[in-house]
A and B are shown apart, each in its own frame.
Chain A
Amino acid sequence: MNFDTLLLGVADGISYAGLLFLVSLGLTLIFGVLGVLNIAHGSLYALGGYVAASLTALAMRHAFDSTPWLFLALVMAAMLVGLAMGLLLDVLLLRYFQKRDPVIQLLVTFAVFVIFEDVQKLIWGTSPYAAGEIVSRLGTVELFAVTYTVYQIMVIPGIALASYLGLNFFLKKTLWGKQTVALTHHREVAMAMGVNVKKIGALVFVLGAMLGALGGALAVPVSSLTPGMGAEMIVVSFTVVATAGLGQITGALITSLMIGLARSLAVYLLPEIDVAMPYIIMLLVLLLRPNGLFTVAQSRRI
């Protein structure tokens, strides 16, 4: 393998890691409040993608086809899906099934996931969707001898980093953010201290759902949408979250990068096991550190 291939692999990896991080961030955030991995997060990713594709097509048809509008279409899609689905999941999981066994809550998210697998097929059909217009608009960039799209190497990682910084700011500097942290520490105590647990719970669900949908929306321009993409993404982002340690935001950033790079380099180096790469990493990490790479103390989860 020569230098150019390596560079290409790294660029692929960074772009993939950006998407992976957005999805994992939403997942780990929701885990903090719910205490259960949300399988329906895969539907959010897929729905975000499909709505983004439809909105892009709509914008193009009605002459809102300048680059900022197209970009706005992607973000709007994520916001819409996140708001609608986040509230739905909040009502289902935190209102109706809150006192149930974690296993049962997990299965509720699984049920929501399978329901939305068919909803996607009913609305958007089974043929692949794509919305590559914005990628070609933004042009390419030369990295030594490799030509790469600006969208993949700058926009996706940029948004991922911005989300990371924004979320950290939110959690550490704002009142609602601090209340969120309190809620993930201990629900009852937070409630006793006057935190409006219902409001904060709904807020976190919507925020987490938006991040998952944003991952999907940003993925549409560079990959085609097919049924089953949600299932694939959710499993890989589970791996990221578990490898990093549950609720670890900075850990998720580093692990996404690690898994993203390992996977894209494996495409060139070890094509037999590229799909299995994230799981192999996770197995190795969990063998050595049973609670994930970045878990420090049990009490702090976000």
Chain B
Amino acid sequence: MKLGVFSGLVVLVLLAIGMAFPWTKTMLIIGLCYGLSALGVAIPARSGQVSFGHAMFACVAAYAVAFLARAFPQMDGVVLIVLATLTGTLFATVLGSFVVRYRGIFFGMLNLAVSMVIVALLGKLYELSGGTDGIRVQRPEFWGLVTERSEFETMLLFISCCIALLAGWFYQRFTQSATGEALGGLKSNETRLEYLGISAHHILWVGYAWSGFFVSLGGAIFALAQGLVTPEMGAWTRSGELVFIMILGGSSHALGPFVGAGVFQAVKLFASAYMAGVWQMLLGFTLLAVIALAPEGIMGAWLAYRSKSVKGARP
């Protein structure tokens, strides 16, 4: 079975779960948001650069949703998502123009530093941003339909599923494009890439902008699903969680970050139900186990298993 078809089936199953058990809807949407954002983190990671500040784009997009919804209460939900994602992407493009000059630790640290400044400012500028309490986001209309909470969540789940499918498809296309392949080349040998006449700078910048796009998309939907935005969304621990999810699921296929997000949410849910207070510990051990047993993540391990067991029979 092709992975694309499989992803479509997974989405249908998610929708069915959301319909059958309404209490899972918010959780599913948030899981998809995490998956989208982790997909964004996976792009610079392909070039060997890990950012410990990428959650800032989710935070910027979420605040864009909040500000826009406050200024224009009549604005449609879909328009909110689009405009907020564009805001986050624009920010990533501007920031990327100088962050891509750095590699390794310095790349991670600069992202971290910018995200910390943003979080600090959002927490302190009380009149503008509501301080650490954040801003409430009023439930917007969707396509002119005024909806109740439950219907709104159904709509949002549906939209998130569609966006996640499109994003996954795009990620697959992107990684096979010239830019995507060059990003992999940047990881293995940057000098050789430059010799081929490809600007490593430019490649990483394009990748950075796209990664900002995916993270922003996740952040914008997250803001609508949660109905509240706080500076916490941009905290470095949140960025760490995104990297965590990306490693957990694996970045070799677009499904990876979503699988990672699913496992992440499941561990969190399980821990809050049975082992309240130690969910971080459980996550830490999960991460150690994945790193030790499946270096390419859950998805990578699965793909390797599949190509071994059905050699030659693959479509």
- A115→B283 CA distance, assembly (Å): 8
Q: Are B120 and A108 in contact (CB under 8 A)?
A: no
Q: Which of B124, B287, B291 contacts A272 (CB 8 A)?
A: B124
Q: Are B280 and A118 in contact (CB under 8 A)?
A: yes
Q: Which of A108, A231, A279 contacts B114 (CB 8 A)?
A: A279
Q: Which of A108, A119, A280 contacts B291 (CB 8 A)?
A: A108
Q: Which of A113, A115, A242 contacts B109 (CB 8 A)?
A: A242
Using Cβ atoms and an 8 Å threshold, which residues of chain A touch B288? 108, 111-112
Q: Which of B45, B98, B283, B287 contacts A103 (CB 8 A)?
A: B45
B239 to chain A, nearest CB (A): 11
B245 to chain A, nearest CB (A): 11
Q: Are B113 and A279 in contact (CB under 8 A)?
A: yes
Q: A97-131 CB contact bits vs B (8 Å, 1 = yes)?
A: 10010111011101111110111011000000000
For residue B155, CB closer than 8 A to chain A, the reply is no
For residue B198, CB closer than 8 A to chain A, the reply is no
- A118→B116 CA distance, assembly (Å): 23
Q: B271-288 CB contact bits vs A (8 Å, 1 = yes)?
A: 000000111110111011
Tally of contact residues, B, Cβ under 8 A: 40
For residue A37, CB closer than 8 A to chain B, the reply is yes
Q: Are B116 and A235 in contact (CB under 8 A)?
A: yes
For residue A3, CB closer than 8 A to chain B, the reply is no
- A251→B50 CA distance, assembly (Å): 25
For residue A16, CB closer than 8 A to chain B, the reply is no
- Secondary structure of the A side of the interface? helix
Using Cβ atoms and an 8 Å threshold, which residues of chain A touch B279? 118
For residue A96, CB closer than 8 A to chain B, the reply is yes
Chain A's interface size range is: 35 or more
Q: Are A238 and B112 in contact (CB under 8 A)?
A: yes
Q: Are B124 and A286 in contact (CB under 8 A)?
A: no
- A159→B237 CA distance, assembly (Å): 31
Instruction: Knowing A96-B292, A115-B284, say if A102 contacts B101 (CB, 8 Å).
Output: no
CB-nearest residue of chain B to A103: B50
A32 to chain B, nearest CB (A): 13
Q: Are B244 and A110 in contact (CB under 8 A)?
A: yes
Instruction: Knowing A103-B50, A111-B291, A287-B98, say if A238 contacts B109 (CB, 8 Å).
Output: yes
7 closest A-B pairs by CB: A115-B284, A118-B281, A276-B120, A279-B113, A111-B287, A114-B284, A275-B120
Chain B residues proximal to chain A, CB less than 8 Å: 45, 48, 50, 98, 101-102, 104-106, 109-110, 112-114, 116-117, 120-121, 123-125, 236-237, 240, 243-244, 247, 277-281, 283-285, 287-288, 291-292, 295
Chain A residues proximal to chain B, CB less than 8 Å: 37, 39, 96-97, 100, 102-104, 106-108, 110-115, 117-119, 121-122, 231, 235, 238-239, 242, 246, 271-273, 275-276, 279-280, 282-283, 286-287, 290-291
